[in-house]
Each structure stands twice: as C-alpha cells, then as structure tokens.
C-alpha cells in the first residue's frame, strides 16, 4: 500500500483499495493524511463487496472518500464459490455484520424517535 500511495502522490497511479478490514482502512486513511492526499481530491478509492462492511463504506463516504461497492454477477454455480471464498478469507465477517446491524438499529431508532424529541 505504501508504494501505491506514494505513486498516487507522484501522479503515476490511481488506486482502489479493496478491503473489508477496518484496521486496514484506518491505516490507509492515516497514511493518506500523512502524505497530504485529500479524500476527494486524490486518486485513491475504497471498495467493498456489497453487503460486507457496509459501515466502513458509509463512514468513508460521509468523510468524503470515494467508495465503490461491487456485485459479483453470473450464474449461481459460478458466483457462489467466489462469495464463499470471500467469506472464508474474512474471519471478521460475522463481527462486521453484527456491527452493521447495531448501526442500522441505532439509525432507525434515531429516525423514529428523534423527530418527536424536537417537538417537545
């Protein structure tokens, strides 16, 4: 990642960092800041598989980083083995899904109940 980000600084590359790992994202964001790469003005993008680590994508997007979600497309027999490999590689998948559910519940609670507190 270090070499790729340096190449972006020098204008020699565009980079899509595909990871579902929060620590890797935090490291990349910190290194971008150290190198003076702004979220919106640089040629650095983040990508995750649709449905995985959605909280990372949302947080990055809210901070101005350019993010992509990708969707494997094809016959079930072709796509399923790929998805199973991704899930197996990502040992934190269930932890991330649990975090996504917690964040979704908090957002739903805020949207349902906060408008009423403003009226009081």
Residue keyed to tokens 């027999």: 77
Range of the domain at 44: 2-119
Number of domains in the chain: 1
Beta-bridge partners for 45: 16, 66
Which pLDDT belongs to residue 115?
65
Q: What is the pLDDT of residues 38-48, one digit of tens each?
A: 999 899 999 99
Rounded mean pLDDT of 20-38?
Answer: 95
Q: Is the pLDDT of residue 120 over 70?
A: no
Question: What pLDDT score does 18 carry?
Answer: 94
pLDDT at 5 over 60: yes
Tell me, letter by letter, the H, E, C secondary structure of 13-75: CCEEEECCCHHHHHHHHHHHHHHCCCCCCCCEEEEEECCCCHHHHHHHHHCCCEEEEECCCCC
How far is 51 from 55, CA to CA, in rounded Å?
Answer: 10
Per-residue pLDDT, 113 = 77
94 or 53, higher pLDDT: 53
Tokens of 47: 């990508």
| pLDDT top residue among 3 and 89 | 3
In tens, the pLDDT along 55-107 reads 899 999 999 999 999 998 889 888 888 888 877 776 655 566 677 778 778 88
> What's the CATH code of the domain at 69?
3.20.20.220
């Amino acid at each position: 990642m270090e070499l790729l980000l340096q190449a972006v600084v020098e204008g020699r590359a565009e980079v899509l960092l595909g990871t579902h790992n929060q620590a890797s994202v935090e490291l990349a964001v910190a290194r971008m800041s150290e190198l003076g790469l702004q979220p919106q003005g640089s040629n650095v993008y983040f990508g995750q598989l649709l449905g995985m680590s959605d909280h990372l994508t949302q947080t990055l997007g809210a901070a101005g980083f350019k993010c992509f979600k990708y969707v494997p497309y094809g016959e079930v027999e072709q796509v399923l083995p790929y998805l199973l490999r991704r899930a197996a590689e990502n040992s934190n998948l269930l932890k991330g899904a649990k975090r996504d559910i917690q964040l979704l519940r908090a957002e739903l609670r805020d949207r349902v109940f906060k408008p009423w507190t403003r009226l009081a």
